[in-house]
Amino acid sequence: MDRVLAWLERARPDVLLMQETKVQDGSVPRDVFHDAGYEIAHHGQGQWNGVAVLSRVGLEAVITNFGRPLEAVRDPDSLEVNPLAEARMIAATCGGVRVVSLYAPNGRSVGSPHYAAKLDWFELLGDWLREAADMSEPLVLGGDLNVAPADIDVWDPVACAAGTHVSPPERQAFDRLLALRLTDAYRLRHSEPGRYTWWDYRSGNFHKNIGMRIDHLLISDPLVPRVVWTEIDREARKGKPTPSDHAPLVMDLDEPGKPFDAGWSAR
């Protein structure tokens, strides 16, 4: 919570999409966010998963779990096997923009039941977009999609080749989202290699920049000309208390937001 509040003050976003909150809906500290100037819509299930939308520009028309009831979990060890039993999707309208906070399954290992469930989850997402989303309106899909869409998005394509996040079926699932007329907002402004959103805690990987770009903001056509800045806040991955192993991904529409140094120039 201390890290979240500090980052809200640092960047002062109009909207914040959160993933892996790991709390029940009734345990969300709504009063703390309210005092910071934000409404919150949360979809959670306790110690697993959990997604949220924070907004200071309105919060309307909330939908969770692709508009379906969250199914019961029979075996916690098999949580990822049933995508509809996982709190991984929440949508809301904030300031005239439809936003969707997403936390894709990890997949664990290629060929496992969890990997198959990850691909099923992407199919659910694609079906929901085709049925319920209006691509002619401002739309943002944001969050941890657990896919590095191209070799430029990993520190070493050869070292990563046998694992999840980079396998052809996962990348094809990501490409099918783009084919729905969505654009990778970060790549609108950044074509350089070595820019990642996630680094493992182990072996000093962050300081060695051994990472992956697996968090994304995918935007509909009406938002493309409105993007004035995108960045990964590398500085937020540093310091105490222990940060997330993911760094915030930021996008400004129409005009620059509150300035901050994302830390890439020092590398």
pLDDT of residue 52: 98
Q: Under the phi-then-psi rule, with left for phi > 0, alpha for psi from -120 to 50, and beta for the rest, what region is 46?
A: left
Q: Which H or E run contains 10? A: helix 2-11
Q: At a CB cut-off of 8 Å and minimum separation 6, what does 79 contact?
A: 48, 49, 73, 85, 86
- Residues 18-34 have a mean pLDDT of 97
pLDDT in tens, 37-95: 999 999 999 888 999 999 999 999 999 999 999 988 766 565 557 889 999 999 999 99
* CA separation for the pair 92, 98 (Å, rounded): 6
Q: Find the mean pLDDT for residues 23-30.
A: 96
**Which tens digit of pLDDT belongs to each residue from 157-192?**
999 999 999 999 999 999 999 999 999 999 999 999
For residue 267, what pLDDT is reported? 64
pLDDT reading at 214 higher than 60: yes
CATH of the domain spanning 56-253: 3.60.10.10
For the chain, which residues make up each domain, given as ranges? 56-253
